[in-house]
Structure 1
């Protein structure tokens, strides 16, 4: 996407789904951005330094209530510099710019910020009242159900005018309950063999685009390709419009990317530019690198330095993780939440052990080894059945942690943007995760307690007030319950949830005996039991 050049010295733009709309900004008519939406201030200059990306530029914004934030800007091509401002509060704000370039220094203006619309809830942050959970800035709970799509940047990267394939695929994810997408800023190609049957229209490996000058084979790391990032903007913006977090991995070491030397000027320029350009997006979550320590590119000192550099440059202090469990386990104090890659068969207790070993942090199983099968074999992992992948996601949920789903038709270089093009047997069972979202929202799973044993099989979540949700394994014909002795002789209500079709059974009543047990409904697969019993008296 090439943004248009304008003659006026200062322009203000409000981010929309694709591209930006521009209006004149002047002192007599303060502009009216919206709380928690990205607004751009754009400044044109008559001349540029040899490498305009390196020109220092920032703006300090101050609200009438005294809030202040200093935001770094970035060069956006066409002799234009940009500040992206996402106001945290409604009301009047003033700003003043700072730069070593006279044309960019000491520019000032006023903004009148309107209150957030209903769908705008602010950035994602840690829940101050529950150290295992997330929330939006407005206080609403954020419960991640993640989906990995590393090459999402590539779907429309060669389309200068529109992002039809991106919209189509992101819409599919949003319709099926996913609210976080794990993606790379850039990836080049996989190292493993590719399926001979692969239809080339679904192949996005070895893209022609590149974030540096030149290309991946013959790069010029001293310069950045501004147009590449302008087109990536459209992806981040559309995810934001659809209420989906962009879990953005700045690097990836095992996808054949020709990166500059670690800690070189070119490396720092790239890293800083990504942070400057994307920090304002409220849906942004930072991930330093996919497979951060797995391929010998660097060491923990480098990752420490990247995190420190990011925190110093990100005015909005978006959440940070590292796609490497070894790093997260050893240096949990440096990250905001933990990303683990654990494939063991008995996943629930493994995830409970992670909770025990790393207290006080939300935990995302960013790869649980389940890669749902698709029309082409891309990477099989340990588990390919969509039903087994779902089981593993629910075991993460019932352990008090969060899942990430992979489908081999979208996780890596192969992406099928329109799943309806596939034969029904080849389509992913994404609706399973829409049903999971239903359960999460209906019973506020993020507010429930994990880890207690209240049955002789399966796992449970409970609210401490008489409501218990049980994960009942598919092997169970009956489930023995362990309820407080004080409620013996009273009545409990039982409702069954089918995670494969999203249906709830009729609620039934059952007297609580000394050793209460319930019969599990027939059918294949695990089930969820929602039990309510009287609260035991203190």
Structure 2
């Protein structure tokens, strides 16, 4: 072997005591590297000297397993005299590799990776469900039901800390504990373009960060250079999300956050874009998003976004999922994206989302912004709805429409970030616990497998599994709901149970005979409720 390499097994880090920071184990010589399926490995190669533009060096490795299956993985410059091939074994077994480059010291290096079966809980990347085109699955086939939250400035929480990410860990831990499994975030954002709350304390404002992904700074950038240290520190964030089971919904650009970007489709722009794709594609928790507000601010046109998608798909050998944070683009070019991201704020959200479902058959739908921005200690951006209960209603309407929700809290979605939520005064804390209850409910009933849109009641909305289980969203205005479980079931028995989405509690079972027009009285309270109805499997009409 022509150069030494280092191995970096991300999937094992979570098991290290006290959440030890990322470290690399260096292995000298032509040795067999032990790893696990779906763990991320950094194979690191040293050169004597680098060319004037080291990022532009073409460098990749061809990995081959025992069956002859091959995967070509692009490498990237990692600062100083170091280059990296970041490899995630897609299957267990023996993988040999050989490197390729016009730079002689990076060409012809050989080695092997012996990948054991995935560790417990390790599920691989996110895919579209081959058996249900509205859903997502992990590579191992288990369901992935996204409940997303936006945290644009997640990259910034520890970006100035060379030694670790304690603040990021604390914040991400809170998200994971409350049921979120996807974070919508930026590679970089600079500052908001709206007036800030005059009461805002500097310690909570991550706008105008001193870090920058290019040379120079946002005020005086050198777009011809990339700040490799910036990306090394971003690695830590993506990695920790992966450890905690959260997808990194990574928006490569953002046009309305005051970033001084290189000219669109210039050499400098392409260098940045390609580098991000090469560096992060191996992470199994990665979801690509070309840009936040992709077409909303005159930076480019649809042709640019389309060319970015094509460029990404050509370079991303792991074929991670791709979307665009712009409903206008997704609406016009649904075939270019793997799932549709919509921004719909209309009041009667359920019917609106059902219409989207009908417009785009065969595509999962994520409402990436439903206009609800839960209030925080400071006014950041109010949207149309700030009540945590109303935001939750809208999230559940997305769920019952057969689509997926994204939550925004004004204390974390943009430049203002409260990272230690447990330390906040109780009256200032966000109601993230509502989404913890949503996660438990979604998982308990495996809602990804349910059908949406069928009229099975005289009001509200219904999900059902075609096997006697009906789940109803009952609006807060209701005092009761009439259910329709099938004329052939009349005379049989059913059991109803109420679920309180605010507390996560269930009522006692309500046994009831199925009549021609059966109904259930909604529990008292000024909130919506969810009714679960199970029809007895052994009961038939007339018996």
Q: Same fold (TM over 0.5)?
A: yes
Residue 325 of structure 1 is aligned with which of 323, 327, 331?
Answer: 327
2:386 is aligned with 1:384: yes
Q: In structure 2, the residue corresponding to 1:247 is in which secondary structure?
A: strand
Q: Which residue does 1:39 correspond to in 2?
A: 41
Q: Which residue of 2 aligns with 1:364?
A: 366
Distance 1:291 1:10 in 2: 40
After superposition, the C-alpha distances for 1:467-492 in whole angstroms (9 at most, x for unaligned) are 00000011111101122111111111
- Per-residue deviation, 1:90: 1.0
Given candidates 186, 190, 205, the residue that maps to 1:203 is: 205
Measured in 2, the distance between the counterparts of 1:26 and 1:510 equals 72
Is 1:341–2:343 an aligned residue pair? yes
In the alignment, does 2:513 pair up with 1:505?
Answer: no
- State the shift of 1:91 in Å: 1.1
Q: Which of 9, 33, 37 is matched with 1:14 structurally? A: 9
Which residue of 1 is the match for residue 434 of structure 2? 432
CA contact (8 A) 1:374 1:428 kept: yes
How many equivalent pairs are there? 531
Q: Which of residues 204, 218, 221 is equivalent to 1:219?
A: 221
Tell me whether 1:26 sits opposite 2:29 in the alignment.
Answer: yes
User: Which deviates more, 206-215 or 29-38?
Assistant: 29-38
DSSP 3-state at the match of 1:468: strand
Partner Cα distance (1:137, 1:505) in 2: 37
Alignment deviations for residues 189-234 of structure 1 (CA, whole Å, 9 cap, x no partner):
0010001111111000000000000000000000000000000000
C-alpha RMSD over aligned residues:
1.3
Contact 1:8 1:24 in 2 (8 A): no
Offset of residue 82 of structure 1: 0.1
Question: 1:228 aligns to what SS in structure 2?
Answer: helix
Q: Identify which range, 16-25 or 92-101, moves more after superposition.
A: 16-25
1:495 aligns with 2:517: no
Secondary structure of the residue aligned to 1:248 is strand
Matches within 5 A, 1:94-133: 94-133=96-135
**TM-score, normalised on structure 1?**
0.97
- Measured after TM superposition, the shift of residue 23 of structure 1 is 2.6
Check conservation: 1:13, 1:42, Cα contact below 8 A: no
Residues 334-483 of structure 1: matches in 2 within 5 Å? 334-483=336-485
Q: CA deviation at 1:25?
A: 4.4
- TM-score, with normalisation over the residues of structure 2? 0.96
Question: What secondary structure is seen at the aligned counterpart in 2 of 1:139?
Answer: coil
Confirm or deny: 8 A CA contact 1:12 1:25 kept in the other structure: no
Q: Does the 8 Å contact 1:487/1:534 carry over to 2? A: no
Task: Describe the shift of the 1:508–1:537 C-alpha distance in structure 2 as closer, same or farther (beyond 3 A).
Answer: closer
> Could you say what secondary structure the match of 2:155 adopts?
helix
Secondary structure of the residue aligned to 1:151 is helix
SS at match of 1:327: helix
State the Cα distance separating 1:534 from its structure 2 match.
Answer: 3.7
CA contact 2:155–2:237 (8 Å) conserved in 1: yes
Determine which of 279, 282, 285 is the counterpart of 1:280. 282
Residue 372 of structure 1 aligns to a residue whose secondary structure is: coil
SS of equivalent to 2:408: strand
Cα displacement (A) at 1:109: 0.6
Give the CA deviation at 1:524.
2.6
What is the CA deviation profile of residues 158-215 of structure 1, one whole-angstrom value per residue up to 9, with x for unaligned ones? 0110111100000000000000000000000001000111111100000000000000
- Aligned partners of 1:450 and 1:462 also within 8 Å: yes
Mapped partners of 1:303, 1:197: distance in 2: 38
The separation in 2 between residues aligned to 1:87 and 1:537, in whole angstroms, is 52
Give the whole-Å Cα distance in 2 for the aligned partners of 1:337 and 1:225: 32
**Matched position secondary structure for 2:341:** strand
Q: Matches of 1:213 and 1:518 in 2, distance apart?
A: 64
Deviations 1:445-501 (A, max 9, x none): 000000001111100100011100000011111101122111111111011110001
Provide the residue aligned with 2:192 in structure 1. Answer: 190
Deviations 1:51-76 (A, max 9, x none): 10000000000111222100000000
Structure 1 SS opposite 2:222: strand
Cα distance between partner residues in 2 of 1:390 and 1:368? 11
1:33 Cα deviation from its structure 2 partner? 1.1
Q: CA deviation at 1:523?
A: 2.1
- Note the alpha carbon deviations across 1:290-335, whole angstroms, 9 max, x for none: 0000000000000010000000000100000000001001100000
Q: Which whole-Å CA distance do the structure 2 matches of 1:26 and 1:63 have between them?
A: 21
Q: Give the match for residue 313 of structure 1.
A: 315
Unpaired runs of 5+ residues, structure 2, are 15-20
Which residue in 1 is equivalent to 2:172?
A: 170
Cα deviation for residue 9 of structure 1 reads: 2.9
Unaligned stretches of 5+ residues in structure 1: 1-6
Within-5 A mapping of 1:32-181: 32-181=34-183
Instruction: Look up the match of 2:17.
Output: none
Write out the 4+ residue segments of structure 1 that deviate beyond 2 Å after TM superposition.
Answer: 7-21, 534-538
2:287, 2:321 within 8 Å by CA — same for their partners in 1?
yes
Instruction: Tell whether the 8 Å contact from 1:11 to 1:41 is kept in structure 2 after alignment.
Output: yes
Quote the offset at 1:537 in angstroms: 7.2
C-alpha distance in structure 2 between counterparts of 1:342 and 1:295, whole Å: 18
Distance 1:484 1:241 in 2: 45
Tell me the distance in 2 between the aligned counterparts of 1:411 and 1:25.
44
Number of the residue aligned with 2:299: 297
Give 1:531's match in structure 2, choosing from 530, 533, 536. 533
1:8 and 1:259 map into 2 onto residues whose CA distance is 36
The question of whether the paired residues in 1 share the 8 Å contact of 2:36 and 2:92 is answered with yes
Q: Distance in 2 between matches of 1:196 and 1:529?
A: 44
